[in-house]
Structure 1
Amino acid sequence: MSTAPQIRRAAPAIRYQVGDYVLYRDPDRYWAGLADHTQPYRVDFVGTPVGRAPFYGLVPLTAGGRRMSTEHSDYMRLLPAADAMADIDLAPLNDPDPAGMTPAAVAWSRQHTAQLPAGGSAVRPELPGPR
C-alpha cells in the first residue's frame, strides 16, 4: 500500500506594515550555503507600485546589519509580539524566589510593584491572560 507524498504549502501572502518586526532570509546567501543568511529586521517603508508586488525597506536589529529593501516577501516571516512577550506572560510572578523568574519578568514585576501607592499591597500584580 503506497501513500501519496506530502505537499508542503507555502506560507500565506502577508502584507507587512511599517513597524512590523520580521525575519528575513537572504535567498542568495541561503541557496549559496553562506552563513548569516537569516536576520531580524524592522519594516520602515512599504512601497506599493502599480501592477507590481509591494517592496519593503528593512532596518537591521543586529549590530553590523545592513539596511536593505526587498520584494522577496516570500522570504520574510512576521515576528509576533506574543512570542517576544511569552517569557513575561507565562512567568510565575507569585514565586517567592526571583531566581525562578526570567529577567524580563523580574523587571516587569519590579516596575509594577514600584508603582504601588504608599501603604499599598506588597503582593506582586498578576499579568493579564493571553489574548
Structure 2
Amino acid sequence: MEQQPQTQPAVRPETHYIQGDLVLFRDVERFWLGLPAHTFVGRVERSWTNVQSGKLLYDLTELSGNHARAGIDPDYMRLLPATDAMHDIDTAPLSEPDTGAMTPAAVAWLRQHLAQDSTALPARR
C-alpha cells in the first residue's frame, strides 16, 4: 500500500491591531465581485468580539472620506507601518540640486521645515 504524503493545514498569523493603527483593508465582497474601489486606508477605532462567531472584528474610519466601517475582518486588513510611509522622505536626495529628483513628499517636508525656520536646514546624518 502506497503511503500518502502528510499535509498540515496552513496557519494564518494572527495580528491584533490597536486604536489609532493605520491599516489597508479590503471590502471583500466588492473584491470578489470584481467591483472597483474595494481597497481603502483606514484608522482603527475599536475592536470587539462577535458574540455569535467569537471572531475578533474591528471598526475603522475610512480616511479618504471619513466614513465609518464596522465589523471588518482582520483577515482582510494589513498594518501600514510608519517606516514605509516615511521611506521617501528618509531617503530623499537632499544634496541633489534638482528638486525634481525628490519625491513630492520629501519636497513637501522641506517646504514645511523651511517655512518654520528659514535660517537652518536639518543637520546632515
Same fold (TM over 0.5): yes
Structure-1 separation of matches of 2:25 and 2:73: 9
Residue 125, structure 1, aligned to residue 123, structure 2: yes
Structure-2 separation of matches of 1:71 and 1:60: 11
- Which of residues 38, 51, 54 is equivalent to 1:52? 54
1:78 Cα offset (Å): 0.9
Identity %: 46
Which residue of the partner structure matches residue 64 of structure 2? Answer: 62
TM-score (norm 1): 0.70
* Higher strand residue share: 2
- Report the secondary structure of 1:30's partner residue: helix
Structure-1 separation of matches of 2:41 and 2:33: 20
1:112 Cα offset (Å): 3.7
Structure-2 separation of matches of 1:115 and 1:82: 24
Structure 1, unaligned runs of 5 or more: 1-8
- Report the secondary structure of 1:67's partner residue: strand
Structure 2, unaligned runs of 5 or more: 1-9
Question: 1:57–1:68: 8 Å Cα contact kept in structure 2?
Answer: yes
Question: 1:22–1:76: 8 Å Cα contact kept in structure 2?
Answer: yes
RMSD: 3.0
1:125 Cα offset (Å): 3.2
Structure-1 separation of matches of 2:105 and 2:64: 20
